[in-house]
Homo-oligomer: A and B are copies of this chain.
Amino acid sequence: MSQGEVLGPLDESVGYVLKRAANALRSAMEAALRPLDLTVPQYSCLEVLAQRPGLSNAELARAVFVTRQSMNLVLRGLQERGLVARPDSAPHGRARPTELTPAGRERHREASAVVRAVERRMLEPLSDGEQEQLLRGLVACVEALGTE
């Protein structure tokens, strides 16, 4: 009863399946990142910093879609573990640019590998064209909802 659910109208709703897919991806990522002692927000932070070094706390928060307060906690945890570095005083205004340390870059490399493996597993049944179409469809949905 726990697995063999009746295929009801819910499974035909894009919204329901979208939520389900995001949920499954999150769970898979959590499980994959646990051996590296990283949470999903922590990994997201490392990934953004690797691609765009020097971002401030508030900018990182916007990029990962969390509040400044939450991102601040994440950054503190990463800083205590020596994975990111921030100057003690802000060079301009109050924003302190954050950078990955060498250890942070190494950890990001490992984390990025396992996350990409999860993503690859998720997309494995789809052809390249179908993957592209899925991506474009999702982007279209985001834009349609974003412009309210």
Contacts and interface: CB of A to CB of B under 8 A. Distances in A.
Contacts of A146: 24
Interface in A90-144: 115, 118-119, 121-126, 130-131, 133-135, 137-144
B139 A137 contact: no
A72 interface: no
B20 A115 contact: no
B143 A125 contact: yes
Looking at chain A's contact residues, is the secondary structure mostly helix, strand, loop, or mixed? helix
B2 A62 contact: yes
Nearest to A136: B130
Contacts of A65: 19-20, 23
B142 A137 contact: no
Contact of A125 (B6, B22, B24, B140): B140
Nearest to A115: B15
Contacts of A18: 18, 21-22, 25, 138
Contacts of A144: 121-125
B142 A24 contact: yes
Contacts of A25: 15, 18-19, 141, 145
